[in-house]
C-alpha cells in the first residue's frame, strides 16, 4: 500500500463514527511499520477515546503490550485530522504520540479549532517527530464539513431540505403536500435526520402538518449495533408555537423542544423558549443553538422558513428531492426569493451529488467552501 491508500483507510475508519461523534469531528488513525498496518482505530463516540488512542490500543490487543510498544516506536501514523493538543474530555493526543516515539505523522488537514490549529503539529515537530500535512486534504476536509463550519463560523452546520414537483412546487394552493416524494426518498430523508443534532421547522408548518420530527429508521437501517441507541434530534421551532391538541406530536413524551420567537413564554419540562427583540433574529438564534451543543440542523420548514435562511445566507447544504410530477402555476413555489440586481450578483452553489430513488431525483448542493 502507498501513503494515499493508508490515508484513505484512515478516512474509511473515521466514517464509522458518523452518527456518534458530534460535536467532535470524525477521525480515523492507521499505524504503519515497515509498510504493514500494525494498529488502527477511530473516534467512536463523543467524550470517549480519540482515534490515535484506539489505534494504539488495537496494536496492543493484536501483539501484546511489550511488542506493541516496540512496533509503535519508529512507526508512521496516518490521521485525517491534526492530533489534538489541548485537554478537554480526553488527554492531548499529541503528547501520546510523543510518548510512544512515533517517527512520522501524515495528517490530512490542520484542526480548524483556533485553540489547536497547528499547535499539535508544532509540539510534535519540537519533539523530533517528522510531520507531513495535506495528504488527501480535500477528502479529509469534506469528511468533516460540519466540524469545520462549527469552528470557523461558531454556528451549527445548516442543511436546507425540500421535496418539490418537477415544476418547482412544494404544495397545492390549499397547502396539501402529502406526498410529493416517493417512499424511497422519504426513507432517505430519515437518514438525513440521523446526521443532525436538531430538526427545525417554522411555526406555520408545525401547526398545519403536526409533524413528529423524529428518525423513523431501525438500527439495522442506520448500521448501528444492537446495543446502540438511536438519539433523536432536538426539535426546533422558528416562531411562537403553543402546545395544543392540534399540535401534539412535536411535544411527545421525552422530546426536547426549543422555540425561538419574539414572544416571552415560561419554560416547562422539555420545552425551552428563547425570546429575541430584533425582528430578524435568525443568526442570533443559530449561535444560541450552537452554544447548546446543537452542531448541525436540518431545516424542513416551508417556503417562508427556507427563504429566510437563504436570504440571510445561513446554510451550508441544500437538498432537493424532485418528483416527476406537476402541481401547476397556482400551487406554492419551493422558493420565493427576490431577484438579484443583475446577473453578476447571482449566487451559485456547487452540485455535490445526484442520487435517484425510483423516479425521484435527489440533488445535494454545497454553499461555499469550508
In whole angstroms, what is the distance from residue 68 CA to residue 129 CA?
A: 19
Is 308 part of any known ligand binding site? yes
120 and 177 in a common domain: no
Residues β-bridged to residue 39:
31
Phi, psi dihedrals of residue 8, rounded to the nearest 5°: -60, -35
Domain boundary among the residues 147, 170, 185 is at 147
Residues β-bridged to residue 273:
259
Predicted confidence at residue 72, as pLDDT, reads 95
Predicted confidence at residue 18, as pLDDT, reads 87
Q: Which residues are catalytic?
A: 52
Q: What is the CATH number of the domain that holds 198?
A: 3.40.430.10
In whole angstroms, what is the distance from residue 198 CA to residue 299 CA?
A: 9
166 and 129 in a common domain: no
308 and 203 in a common domain: yes
Strands (E), 127-270: 130-133, 157-165, 169-171, 198-202, 234-238, 257-261
Is 127 part of any known ligand binding site? no
131 and 189 in a common domain: no
72 and 191 in a common domain: no
Domain boundary among the residues 147, 171, 204 is at 147
183 and 126 in a common domain: no
Helices (H) and strands (E) in the chain, counts: 11, 16
Is 50 part of any known ligand binding site? yes
In whole angstroms, what is the distance from residue 55 CA to residue 80 CA?
A: 13
pLDDT in tens, the chain (370 residues): 899 999 999 999 999 998 889 999 999 999 999 999 999 999 999 988 999 999 999 999 999 999 999 999 999 999 999 998 876 667 788 899 999 999 999 999 999 988 888 888 999 999 999 999 999 999 999 999 999 999 999 999 999 999 888 988 887 777 666 778 888 898 999 999 999 999 999 988 888 888 889 898 888 888 887 778 888 999 999 988 877 777 888 888 778 999 999 887 777 778 899 999 988 999 999 999 999 999 999 999 788 899 999 989 999 999 999 999 988 888 888 887 777 777 777 788 999 999 999 999 999 999 988 8
**Host domain of residue 357:** 154-367
349 and 254 in a common domain: yes
Q: What are the DSSP calls for 22-60, one per residue?
A: TTSPP-EEEEEETTEEEEEEE--STTS--HHHHHHHHHH
Domain boundary among the residues 82, 112, 147 is at 147
Query: What domain count does the chain have?
Result: 2
Is 293 part of any known ligand binding site? no
213 and 188 in a common domain: yes
361 and 225 in a common domain: yes
194 and 270 in a common domain: yes
Q: Are 79 and 108 in contact (CB under 8 A)?
A: yes
In whole angstroms, what is the distance from residue 323 CA to residue 362 CA?
A: 9
332 and 213 in a common domain: yes
In whole angstroms, what is the distance from residue 115 CA to residue 66 CA?
A: 35
In whole angstroms, what is the distance from residue 366 CA to residue 353 CA?
A: 9
In whole angstroms, what is the distance from residue 231 CA to residue 200 CA?
A: 16
310 and 193 in a common domain: yes
Is 345 part of any known ligand binding site? no
Is 229 part of any known ligand binding site? no
Predicted confidence at residue 87, as pLDDT, reads 66
Q: In this structure, what C-alpha cell is assigned to residue 6?
A: 493508508
Q: What is the pTM of this model?
A: 0.90
Is 170 part of any known ligand binding site? no
- The alpha helices in the chain, defined as continuous H runs, are 3-15, 51-63, 65-72, 93-99, 119-126, 137-143, 145-153, 183-194, 203-209, 282-291, 303-311
Q: What is the CATH number of the domain that holds 45?
A: 3.40.140.10
Give whole-number Cα distances, 295 to 151, 248, 292, 309, in Å. 10, 26, 8, 16
Pairing of strands 360-366, 296-299: unpaired
Is 213 part of any known ligand binding site? yes
Amino acid at each position: 500500500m502507498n501513503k494515499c491508500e493508508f490515508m484513505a483507510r484512515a478516512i474509511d475508519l473515521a466514517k464509522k463514527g458518523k452518527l456518534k461523534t458530534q460535536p467532535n469531528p470524525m477521525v480515523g488513525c492507521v499505524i504503519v511499520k515497515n509498510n504493514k498496518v500494525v494498529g488502527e482505530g477511530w473516534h467512536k463516540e463523543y467524550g470517549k477515546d480519540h482515534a490515535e488512542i484506539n489505534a494504539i490500543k488495537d496494536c496492543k490487543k493484536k501483539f501484546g503490550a511489550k511488542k506493541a510498544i516496540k512496533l509503535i516506536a519508529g512507526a508512521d501514523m496516518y490521521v485525517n485530522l491534526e492530533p489534538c493538543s489541548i485537554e478537554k474530555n480526553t488527554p492531548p493526543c499529541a503528547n501520546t504520540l510523543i510518548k510512544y516515539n512515533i517517527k512520522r505523522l501524515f495528517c490530512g488537514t490542520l484542526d480548524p479549532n483556533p485553540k489547536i490549529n497547528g499547535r499539535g503539529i508544532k509540539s510534535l515537530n519540537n519533539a523530533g517527530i517528522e510531520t507531513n500535512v495535506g495528504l488527501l486534504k480535500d477528502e479529509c476536509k469534506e469528511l468533516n464539513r460540519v466540524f469545520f463550519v462549527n469552528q470557523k463560523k461558531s454556528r451549527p452546520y445548516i442543511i436546507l431540505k425540500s421535496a418539490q414537483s418537477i415544476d418547482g412546487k412544494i404544495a397545492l394552493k390549499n397547502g396539501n403536500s402529502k406526498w410529493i416524494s416517493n417512499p424511497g426518498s422519504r426513507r432517505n430523508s430519515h437518514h438525513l435526520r440521523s446526521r443532525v443534532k436538531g430538526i427545525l421547522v417554522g411555526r406555520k408548518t408545525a401547526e398545519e402538518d403536526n409533524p413528529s420530527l423524529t428518525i423513523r429508521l431501525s438500527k439495522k437501517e442506520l448500521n448501528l449495533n444492537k446495543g446502540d441507541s438511536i438519539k433523536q434530534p432536538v426539535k426546533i421551532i422558528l416562531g411562537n408555537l403553543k402546545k395544543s391538541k392540534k399540535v401534539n406530536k412535536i411535544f411527545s413524551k421525552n422530546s426536547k423542544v426549543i422555540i425561538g420567537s419574539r414572544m416571552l413564554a415560561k419554560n416547562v419540562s422539555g420545552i425551552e423558549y428563547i425570546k429575541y427583540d430584533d425582528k430578524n433574529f435568525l443568526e442570533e438564534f443559530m449561535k444560541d443553538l450552537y452554544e447548546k451543543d446543537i452542531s448541525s440542523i436540518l431545516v424542513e420548514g416551508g417556503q417562508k422558513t427556507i427563504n429566510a435562511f437563504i436570504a440571510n445566507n445561513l446554510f451550508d447544504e441544500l437538498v432537493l428531492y424532485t418528483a416527476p410530477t406537476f402541481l401547476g402555476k397556482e400551487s406554492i413555489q419551493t422558493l420565493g426569493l427576490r431577484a438579484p440586481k443583475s446577473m453578476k450578483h447571482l449566487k451559485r452553489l456547487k452540485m455535490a451529488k445526484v442520487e435517484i430513488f425510483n423516479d425521484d431525483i435527489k440533488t445535494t448542493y454545497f454553499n461555499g467552501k469550508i
